[in-house]
Amino acid sequence: MRFLLLLTLLAPAAFAGAGEISFALVGDLMPGSDHPSRDWLPTNAFALLAPASAILTNVDLALGNLEGALAEAPVAKKGKHSFSFRLPPSMAETFRQAGFKGLNLANNHSLDAGALGVVQATNLLAAKGILPIGMKDHLVFAQVKGKKIGFLGFSPYYPHNNMTDLESARLTIRSNALKCDLLIVSFHGGAEGEGVTNVPRVGETYYGENRGDVFRFARMAVDEGAALVFGHGPHVLRGLEIYKDRLIAYSLGNFLGHRQFNVSRGFGTSCILEAQLDGRGRLVRGRIHPFVLSVTGPTVPDPEKRAIPLMQGLSRADFPETAPVFGEDGAFTPRPRP
């Protein structure tokens, strides 16, 4: 399996101050699957992401979760409660045009086209200058403003770094944090559905699968050296907290799911999470940019701005002592020190 180890990024950030590194983070991305029918593909995949590209292209690092196999390999058989998504190889260029610099592959859909599909996805993304994040024991890097930024992805599934084995995950994060200036950890975990917007303090399951204890995992990742932790998997938004000056986003929900995702009710409420970190990885400021999904059209800025009060409320309810300080416009900052 061939991996890209270093990507040099030269584009200036629009939102970050001097010495700061800016991020734009989104959740699950699935801009069209040719399985079970090519008729379900969009006529113009980039058009689905175009409304978001102004933000994604004007930060140092735009990251998301690739919910499906980017491959030509045959679709693999899965259980009766599972869907399979296969994105045509041409969509690697779609992600590049939209502004993504890294895509997480550590999720339950990366093997939708088998092991060969994982190899193809890794190589296709690397060829477009997009970091493939999440294969077991593989730390990938970007060089930004003189800082070496490392990326690890975790999930409950093979062949990824395993988030359900907390001791193994602890050692992986601790050892890899020493190899870079800032370590970014992505995880695909937690139960799924409209009723799981709150972050529990216990392990979660879904259809009998162990989906991890996301609260313990995320805080452990910060304890062991992660500068930023962001999650996805529940298909709904969850709250934010600032733990030891580091930002944790527990679920960024869906961001694009052409003809494949349920976008009714809370499943269609989305956001781009913007964050600026200082050179040591501490959160300086951030912003929730509210977006909304449709079944077949692009993901667009939400005129009702529903993600802002939703994430404010969830953050305050779940993390009363560590939630950010929010403004009505979606901007947020760390709490003042006592």
Q: Tens of pLDDT along 150-165?
A: 999 999 998 899 999 9
Which residues does residue 86 pair with via DSSP β-bridges, in sequence order? Answer: 69
Residues 249-275: what's their mean pLDDT?
A: 96
Q: Identify residue 136 by its one-letter amino acid code.
A: K
Q: Which two tokens stand for residue 190?
A: 């937690």
Q: Phi and psi at residue 246, in whole multiples of 5°? A: -110, 140
Within 10 Å of residue 115's Cβ, how many Cβ atoms?
14
* 273-196-45-106 Cα dihedral, nearest 10 degrees: 80
pLDDT of 158 reads: 87
- Say yes or no to pLDDT of 11 above 60: no
The beta-strand segments (E) located in 107-261 are 131-133, 140-144, 147-155, 161-162, 182-188, 204-206, 209-212, 226-232, 240-243, 246-249, 254-257
Tell me the two tokens of residue 89: 């190889």
Predicted structure pTM score:
0.94
Per-residue pLDDT at 13 exceeds 90 = no
Q: Which among 271, 283, 263 is positioned nearest to 309, based on CA atoms?
A: 271
pLDDT at 338 over 80: no
For 77-91, 178-192, 207-221, 227-241, which range has the lowest pLDDT when averaged over its residues? 77-91
Mean pLDDT of 174-190: 98
DSSP codes joined into one string, 135-153: BTT--EEEEETTEEEEEEE
- Give the per-residue pLDDT at 59: 98
Task: Give the distance, in angstroms, between the CA of residue 2 and the centroid of all CA atoms in the same chain.
Answer: 22
User: 21, 277 in Cβ contact below 8 A?
Assistant: yes
CA distance 219 to 120: 33
Mean pLDDT score, 58-79: 93
**Is the per-residue pLDDT at 46 higher than 50?**
yes
Q: Tell me, what's the pLDDT at 16?
A: 58
| Mean pLDDT along residues 309-334 | 98
> Is there a contact between 225 and 185 (Cβ–Cβ < 8 Å)?
no
Using DSSP, state whether 88 is helix, strand or coil.
coil
Q: d(Cα 266, Cα 251) in Å, to the nearest integer?
A: 13
Question: Mean pLDDT over all residues of the chain?
Answer: 93
Q: How confident is the model at residue 265 (pLDDT cuts 50, 70, 90)?
A: confident
Q: Is the pLDDT of residue 266 over 60?
A: yes
Task: State the fold for domain 6-333.
Answer: Purple Acid Phosphatase; chain A, domain 2 (3.60.21)
**Residue whose token pair is 């550590």:** 106
Is residue 26 within a helix (H) or strand (E), and if so which, with residue range? strand 21-30
Query: Band of the pLDDT at 1, cuts 50, 70, 90?
Result: very low
